[in-house]
């Protein structure tokens, strides 16, 4: 039981620490595995710099600004 709780805390901590990097990681995975659908949907609707917009939203959320 103690080991499971430790793994849960470790997973939560790493998720919180890597939250600012998640848009870049998900965009890279989308470009590798779902290239054509990613380009035709996300890039068509939000433009080439859609990751910058998402990371800006996360940085505002983490800093507490609106």
- For 11-34, write each residue's pLDDT tens digit: 999 888 887 788 788 788 888 888
pLDDT-derived band at 38, boundaries 50, 70, 90:
confident
Contact between residue 31 and residue 62 where contact means Cβ atoms under 8 Å apart: no
Is pLDDT larger for residue 10 or for residue 27? 10
Domain boundaries, given as residue ranges, for the chain: 20-66
Q: How many CB atoms sit inside 10 A of residue 65's CB? A: 7
**Mind giving me the DSSP string for 6-55?**
HHHHHHHHHHHHTGGGHHHHHHHHHHHHSHHHHIIIIIHHH-TTHHHHHH
> What is the pLDDT at residue 65?
59
Residue 10 has pLDDT above 90, yes or no: yes
Average pLDDT of every residue of the chain:
80
């Amino acid at each position: 039981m103690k080991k499971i709780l430790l793994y849960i805390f470790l997973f939560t901590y790493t998720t919180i620490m890597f939250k600012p990097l998640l848009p870049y990681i998900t965009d890279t995975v989308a470009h590798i595995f779902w290239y054509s659908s990613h380009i035709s949907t996300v890039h068509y609707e939000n433009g080439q710099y859609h990751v910058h917009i998402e990371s800006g939203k996360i940085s505002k959320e983490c800093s507490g600004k609106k």
